[in-house]
């Protein structure tokens, strides 16, 4: 695990005063545009907060960032007599000479962010060091830095950027809608949270909490927020000295490279060689034109990184890149060959972007009765409640809240549907098939080829129209038709891989995977008739309370429990 504190701003390091860099140093630093759009501002402010050793970072956005961007941190703050200097061009506390760039423990070093932001917006900076009794506030604009004022505040720094690009209408024209700019910021903050698992991040967009990480290193919860719970649960963790992260199994791919997140020493960046190594390791298992989802975190000695190649620090050059690439490729191959990790229990309740963030349940919830299985006493009130609810509602596009005589029930929509589909599949010998929009070619390895050739008739009966066309290639024209199910084309490589497992239980396992892939996802809005149908179908299954993998489908809060908790 990447310990951000040890890489960035080591607590032992003296904080040096902010000083203007000498001209010969400035000349050697890659110069260029830093503030292109709202997310550039957020990136610089968050970098500064991390550089200040913050463990708590709050970002606030109004109107896509054009109205207001605020970043508040609990870092070491700026001494009162240096606040004006922070707005001077090429003034920084992070390096003194060009050599320091190659021994960098911070994200920033150019001393350009604050002045560049102030040139295109109104910036107020409130700060207090731990040693100071009071805080300091200054407001900077393109013209000047206003007079210092004393304010009362906690140690740390808050930078507020108002009216971004108000004086540069040309720049505004190049921006997308407020929604899109906000989404860019949200992605950036989530990725930074992945790069800094020990820092608590919170992002508020137009007054609504859009994202929060707990700083407890719970990667899966953040991944679920980025990619949805289903995908996040399938990502495989890998980790060898200084290289760690998550990668998607071959069944989960994307049509572009947008989902590759590379973090080097806490810096979101791209290094071509590293990303190529990752894709090369995947190549044999990837369908053409598809790319993995991956988070790669590298911790390297600062002298192996040259961050001075891109003005917005979006790219770094690496020494020993080939060696690193090989280490990464080996870790990826190993993780792909391994059986899937058991997803952390945490991921279960983390919902997709923009959805309700329910508190994650602790392992033991006293007083909350979870009905196990559908049999016997426990199952009966559940089935009755699902069949005749007094009222029901979908919440967070993930759960169905059911009010019944016997209390409240929370039903996980994905698992419920998965249970329903799984039982249907198990009960039928033949499944209808549904043609894919375009046939998909799958290249298997020799072992898989042998297995699949043997199992072609069974696969055919299950609705897979799968044809061998030479060597290790198979052409798939259709997949099982599952009513009301999700599109299966993306899942196909994974499903076929499941079917190729040297394993007597392969058919049951394939059905479970099919059910999981076809089941309605969390994050999908469902109308009231669909909800009722889902509950009715679930009530008719043999074990409504547990999914095919044994995880809970339904939580029950009895009237008794609620009375006790509310002390009515
Ligand atoms: P750089 O980060 O490249 O040094 P900036 O313009 O981003 O340049 O910031 C200038 C200086 O202001 C930093 O070197 C740092 O000393 C100080 N500073 C900026 N933001 C913060 C913050 N959130 N907490 C503490 N110090 C900060
Ligand atoms: Mg900076």
For the stretch 383-410, pLDDT in tens is: 888 888 889 999 998 999 999 888 899 9
What's the confidence (pLDDT) of residue 152?
93
What's the confidence (pLDDT) of residue 549?
64
At 224, is the secondary structure helix, strand, or coil? helix
What's the confidence (pLDDT) of residue 439?
81
| For residue 326, pLDDT beyond 70 | yes
Region 493-497: mean pLDDT is: 87
Q: Is residue 119 within 6 Å of ligand 1 at its C-beta?
A: no
Percentage of residues in the chain with pLDDT exceeding 70? 88
Ligand nearest to the CA of 157: 1
What's the confidence (pLDDT) of residue 340?
62
Q: Would you mind telling me the total number of residues written for the chain in this entry?
A: 568
The residue nearest atom 15 of ligand 1, judged by CA position, is: 93
What's the confidence (pLDDT) of residue 507?
85
Q: Say how many C-beta atoms besides its own lie within 10 A of residue 503's C-beta.
A: 13
Region 498-504: mean pLDDT is: 80
| Mean pLDDT over each residue of the chain, to the nearest integer | 83
Q: Is residue 92 within 6 Å of ligand 1 at its C-beta?
A: yes
| For residue 265, pLDDT beyond 80 | yes
* CA pair distance 162, 164, nearest whole angstrom: 6
Which helix H or strand E contains 466, and what residues bound it?
A: strand 465-468
Q: Are 176 and 39 in contact (CB under 8 A)?
A: no
CA of 209 to the centre of ligand 2 (A): 25
Region 120-126: mean pLDDT is: 96
Q: Could you tell me whether strands 68-73 and 156-162 are parallel, antiparallel, or unpaired per DSSP bridges?
A: antiparallel
* CA pair distance 307, 535, nearest whole angstrom: 55
243: its two tokens:
């290289």
Region 236-242: mean pLDDT is: 84
What's the confidence (pLDDT) of residue 473?
84
* CA pair distance 421, 418, nearest whole angstrom: 5
Q: Could you tell me whether strands 294-298 and 260-264 are parallel, antiparallel, or unpaired per DSSP bridges?
A: parallel
Terminal Cα distance for the chain, rounded: 46
Which of 216-220, 543-547, 562-566 has the lowest average pLDDT?
Answer: 543-547
CA of 80 to the centre of ligand 1 (A): 13
Q: Is residue 109 within 6 Å of ligand 1 at its C-beta?
A: yes
Q: Is residue 158 within 6 Å of ligand 1 at its C-beta?
A: no
Query: Tens digit of pLDDT for each residue in 163-207?
Result: 999 998 888 888 888 989 999 999 999 999 999 999 999 999 998
Region 66-88: mean pLDDT is: 96
């Amino acid at each position: 695990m990447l310990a951000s504190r040890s890489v960035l701003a080591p607590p032992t390091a003296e904080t040096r005063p902010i000083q203007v860099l000498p001209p010969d140093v400035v000349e050697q630093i890659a110069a260029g545009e830093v503030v292109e759009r709202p997310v550039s501002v957020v990136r610089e402010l968050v970098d500064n907060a991390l550089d200040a050793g913050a463990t708590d970072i709050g970002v606030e956005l109004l109107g896509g960032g054009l109205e207001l961007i605020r970043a508040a941190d609990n870092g070491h703050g700026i001494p009162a007599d240096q606040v004006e200097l922070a707005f001077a061009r090429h003034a920084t506390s992070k390096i003194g000479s060009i050599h320091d760039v190659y021994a960098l423990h911070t994200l920033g070093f150019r001393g350009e962010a604050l002045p560049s932001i102030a040139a295109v917006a109104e910036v107020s900076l409130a700060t207090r060091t731990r040693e100071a009794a009071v805080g300091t506030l200054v407001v900077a604009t393109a013209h000047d830095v206003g007079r210092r004022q004393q304010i009362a505040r906690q140690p740390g720094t808050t930078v507020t950027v108002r009216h971004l690009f108000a004086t540069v209408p040309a720049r505004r024209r190049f921006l997308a809608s407020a929604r899109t700019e906000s989404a860019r910021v949200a992605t950036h903050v989530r990725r930074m949270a992945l790069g800094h698992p020990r820092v608590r991040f919170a992002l508020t967009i137009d007054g609504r909490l859009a994202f929060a990480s707990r700083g407890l290193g719970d990667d899966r919860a953040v991944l679920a927020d980025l990619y949805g719970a289903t995908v996040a649960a399938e990502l495989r963790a890998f980790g060898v000295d200084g290289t760690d992260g998550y990668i998607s199994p071959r069944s989960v791919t994307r049509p572009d490279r947008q989902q590759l997140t590379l973090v080097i020493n806490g810096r979101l960046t791209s290094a071509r060689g590293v990303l190529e190594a990752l894709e090369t390791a995947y190549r044999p298992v990837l369908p053409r034109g598809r790319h993995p989802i991956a988070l790669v975190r590298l911790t390297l000695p600062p002298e192996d990184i040259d961050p001075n190649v891109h003005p917005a620090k979006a790219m770094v050059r690496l020494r020993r890149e080939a060696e690193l690439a090989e280490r990464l490729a080996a870790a990826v191959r190993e993780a792909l060959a391994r059986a899937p990790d058991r997803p952390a229990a945490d991921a279960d309740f983390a919902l997709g972007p923009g959805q309700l963030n329910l508190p994650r349940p602790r392992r033991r919830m006293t007083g909350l009765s979870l009905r196990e299985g559908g049999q016997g006493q426990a199952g009966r009130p559940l089935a009755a409640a699902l069949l005749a609810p007094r009222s029901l509602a979908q919440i967070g596009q993930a759960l169905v809240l059911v009010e019944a005589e016997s209390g409240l029930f929370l039903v996980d929509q994905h698992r419920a549907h998965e249970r329903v589909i799984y039982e249907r599949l198990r009960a039928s010998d033949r499944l209808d098939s549904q043609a894919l929009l375009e046939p998909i070619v799958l290249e298997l390895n020799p072992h898989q080829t042998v297995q699949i050739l043997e199992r072609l008739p069974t696969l055919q009966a299950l609705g897979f129209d799968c044809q061998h066309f030479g060597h290790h290639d198979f052409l798939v024209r259709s997949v099982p038709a599952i009513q009301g199910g999700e599109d299966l084309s993306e899942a196909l490589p994974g499903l076929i891989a499941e079917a190729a497992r040297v394993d007597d239980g392969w058919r049951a396992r394939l059905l479970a995977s099919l059910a999981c892939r076809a089941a309605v996802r969390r994050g999908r809005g469902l109308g009231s008739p669909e909800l009722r149908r889902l509950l009715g179908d679930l009530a008719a299954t043999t074990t409504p309370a547990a999914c095919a993998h044994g995880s809970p489908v339904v939580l029950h809060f009895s009237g008794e429990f609620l009375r006790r908790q509310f002390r009515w």
